[in-house]
Structures are given as structure tokens and as C-alpha cells.
């Protein structure tokens, strides 16, 4: 069936280092891929998206890479800060109709060490 999965449940990085969070997806027909961040006690918050016809998109300190050949998505955070500590979810949007349905992965917990 359809699924979105992450490679590592937990990632620990030193403050100031770069972080890379990976995600694998199974649905070749998804048109958008999205990253969300969920801080403790809060709901998920949209970070960045990438359309399926792109392979890279940059935001403020974040970059998302899409490799459709191997169905792999990654989120890179530059100069990781303590405020980046959170659970990060990737999600994809199936193209069959505008139903609002997103398929979420399980999440990677990013821990930033001072």
C-alpha cells in the first residue's frame, strides 16, 4: 500500500552543525512533498514543500531534495539551532483529486546538543 517512511527515528546533532533528515515514499503519483515540524506540545507546522517536477528547493536555512528515481526525500537544516529541536514529518500528496489528503511519515526526532 501507500506509505511514507523515515530512515531514522532519532537524530542527534551538535549545535551549529548541519542536519539531514531522510524520508522514503512509495507513491510515484504524488505531486507535492511537504515537510512539517512539530515542537513539544504543539501541532505540526509547515516548513517547506517541493513539487514533484523539481529536485531541489531552498528556504531560510532549510533545503529539501527530491530524488524521484529512488523515491527519496531529504530535509537539510543548516547551522542547526536549539530551536530546531522537534519531530520532523515528511508528507506527500497523492495526485488523485484535490481531497486534501496527505500521507505522513512516522517522524524523526531531532535533538540539538548545545
Partner 1 sequence: ETGVTQTPRHLVMGMTNKKSLKCEQHLGHNAMYWYKQSAKKPLELMFVYNFKEQTENNSVPSRFSPECPNSSHLFLHLHTLQPEDSALYLCASSSGTGSYEQYFGPGTRLTVT
For cell 531552498, name the residue.
58
| Cβ-based neighbours of 60, under 8 Å, separated by 6 or more | none
Tell me how far, at minimum, the Cβ of 101 lies from partner 1, in Å: 6
14/106 with CB nearer partner 1: 106
Residues that bind partner 1 (CB under 8 A): 4, 32, 34, 41-46, 49, 89, 91, 93, 98-107
18/96 with CB nearer partner 1: 96
61/96 with CB nearer partner 1: 96
**Phi, psi (deg, nearest 5) at residue 105:** -85, 180
Residues in the chain, overall count: 114
Amino acid at each position: 500500500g501507500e506509505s511514507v517512511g523515515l530512515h531514522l527515528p532519532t537524530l542527534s546533532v551538535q549545535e551549529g552543525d548541519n542536519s539531514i533528515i531522510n524520508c522514503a515514499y512509495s507513491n510515484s503519483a504524488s505531486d507535492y512533498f511537504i515537510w512539517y515540524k512539530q515542537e513539544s506540545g504543539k501541532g505540526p507546522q509547515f516548513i517547506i514543500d517541493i513539487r514533484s517536477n523539481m529536485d531541489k528547493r531552498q528556504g531560510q536555512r532549510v533545503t529539501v531534495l527530491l530524488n524521484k528515481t529512488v523515491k527519496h526525500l531529504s530535509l537539510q537544516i543548516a547551522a542547526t539551532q536549539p530551536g530546531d529541536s522537534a519531530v520532523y514529518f515528511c508528507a506527500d500528496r497523492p495526485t488523485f483529486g484535490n481531497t486534501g489528503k496527505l500521507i505522513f511519515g512516522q517522524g524523526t526526532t531531532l535533538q540539538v546538543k548545545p
